[in-house]
Amino acid sequence: MSPIYLDHNATTPLHPEVRAAVVGALEIWGNPSSTHAQGRAARAAVERARRQVAQLLACDVDETVFVSGGTEGNNLAIRGLAELARQTHGAPGHLITSRIEHPSVLGAVDALQAEGWSVTRLPVAAQGAITPDALAAAMQPDTRLVSLALANHELGNLYPVAAFADVAHAGGAFMHSDLVQAAGKVPVDVKALNLDAATITAHKLYGPKAVGAIHIRQGLDLAPLIAGGHQEHERRPGTENVAGIVGFGVASELAMASLGEDAQRLSALRLALETLLLQIPGSRRHGFETSRVPGTCNIGFSGARGDRVVIALDVEGVCVSAGAACTSGSLEPSPVIRAICEAEGRTPAEARDAVRFSVGRATTAAEIEHVAKLTAMVVARIRA
C-alpha cells in the first residue's frame, strides 16, 4: 500500500502538468540576461511565469520578484523594508511581529534586533487569536514595520491582515505578510489586503521546491540581500532558475483555476478527519474552528507526545508532522503550540502533544477513515 500523505503544509507533490512544464523548460537553456535568441527565449519564459504568479497575487507584473523560496522571500521583504525605513528615518526603529510566525520571519526579525531594532512579539489569545486591537496597543511612535502572516503554518488559522495593514499604515509603518500557507488555498489579493510586501513559494501549491516570489508594492525601492547582479530589477541578483520559475507559473495558474473546487473538497475532508480524531478520548483542537485554510487541522492528544505519534504513524505508512518542517529536528515543543497552551492555561508538557494533519488534492475519504483508525490505535498504544 502506498504511503498516505497528510503533510501538505510541509510540501506538496509536483502536479503532473507542472512536472511536464519543468522538464520542457530544461530545454530552454539560454541565460535570461543574454540578448541573443536563446537568451530571449529564456527571458520570455520567465516573464510569462511572472504574469501567472502576479495573477495569483492580483498584483502588477513589475511588483513580482522571483526568489529561491519562502525563507529567502521573508528575509528579503522584512530586511529590505526595514532598511528602507532606516534610511528614511536615519536610525533603526520598532518592529512588530507575533510569537507564532514562521521560523524564517522570526529569524529575520532576530537579525534586525541584533542590529539595533526594538521588537514586540505579540502574544496570542486562546486558539491562537491575534486581533487588530492587540496590534494597535503595541504600536509605538517609532514603529516602522509590521509582519504578520495571513495563514498560520501549523494551525491553518486565517488572520485579518487587511485590518492589520490599516493599523500599521495609520501609524506610519510598512506592512508585510507571509502568504506562503494561504496562496493557492484561499483567494489572495495583495492590493485588497493593502500590503507593502508579501511572500509566497511554489512548493506549497504543487510546484517545484527552491523557487518563490515576493510582492513589493510599486514605488518601494528595496535593497537586495546579496550583491553582484542586475537581475529581478536589481532586487535579487543571480541568474534566474528558469525551469523552476516556469513550473511556479504553471502551478499558480492551476491553483487559480481549481481554487473554489479544491477549497470545498478539502474543507469536507478536513472536517471529516477532525471529527473522527476529536472522538479519541483526551483529544483537543489547536486553532480556530472555522476561520482557517481548507486542509489543515492540528490536534493534541493528551498523554501521547506528538513526535511519538508522528513516528508511529510513519511506521504504519502515514505521513504527518508535529510542527513546522523547518524545525522538525528540534526536540523542543512547537513555539506555536507552546504559545497557545500558555494562553489557554495548559502545561508545557501539553505543548508536546500536537500533531498537524494537512490534506491535499489527492487525499481520499477512505484514507481519512483509515488514518483516523490508525491514530486512535497509535495514541492508545503510546499512552499505555
pLDDT in tens, 338-355: 999 999 999 988 999 999
* Contact of 76 with 225, CB cutoff 8 Å: yes
Residue 377 has pLDDT above 70, yes or no: yes
Please tell me the pTM assigned to this model: 0.96
Residue 329 has pLDDT above 90, yes or no: no
Tens digit of each residue's pLDDT (9 = 90 or more) over 229-245: 889 887 899 999 999 99
DSSP-assigned letters across all residues of 135-182: HHHH--TTEEEEE--SB-TTT-BB--HHHHHHHHHHTT-EEEEE-TTT
- Let me know if 297 is a catalytic residue: no
Angle at 233 between CA 232 and CA 236, to 5 degrees: 45
Sheet holding 283-286, edge to edge: 283-286, 296-301, 354-358
Give the pLDDT of residue 243: 98
Q: For the residues 106-111, what does the mean pLDDT come to?
A: 98
Residue 316 has pLDDT above 70, yes or no: yes
- What is 16-254's CATH number, 3.40.50.150, 3.30.420.40, 3.90.1300.10, 3.40.640.10? 3.40.640.10
Residue 327 has pLDDT above 90, yes or no: no
Phi and psi at 354, nearest 5°, equal -85, 140
Taking domain 4-12+259-383, whether its CATH number is 3.90.1150.10 is answered by yes
> Taking all residues of the chain, what is their mean pLDDT, rounded to a whole number?
96
DSSP-assigned letters across all residues of 275-339: HHHTTSTTEEEES-SSSB-TTEEEEEETTS-HHHHHHHHHHTTEE-BSS-GGGTT--SPPHHHHH
**Catalytic residue (choose from 59, 297, 319, 326):** 326
**Which cell goes with 203?**
512548493
What CA–CA distance (Å, rounded) separates 78 from 270?
33
Nearest Cα residue to 358 out of 305, 295, 307: 295
| Domain locations along the chain | 4-12+259-383, 16-254
Residue 321 has pLDDT above 90, yes or no: yes
Low-confidence winner among 218-227, 328-337, 347-356 (lowest mean pLDDT): 328-337
Residue 2 has pLDDT above 90, yes or no: no
Low-confidence winner among 118-122, 176-180, 226-230 (lowest mean pLDDT): 226-230
Alpha carbon distances (Å) from 11 to 66, 108, 111, 162, 203: 19, 22, 26, 27, 6
Provide the H-helix boundaries in the chain.
16-25, 37-57, 70-89, 103-114, 132-138, 161-170, 231-234, 242-277, 306-315, 335-343, 365-383
Give the pLDDT of residue 227: 87
Residue 317 has pLDDT above 90, yes or no: yes
Nearest Cα residue to 12 out of 234, 296, 242, 226: 296
**Which cell goes with 273?**
478527519
Give the pLDDT of residue 324: 59
Tens digit of each residue's pLDDT (9 = 90 or more) over 249-282: 999 999 999 999 999 999 999 999 999 999 999 9
**Which cell goes with 151?**
495563514
Give the pLDDT of residue 326: 52
**Which cell goes with 261?**
473546487
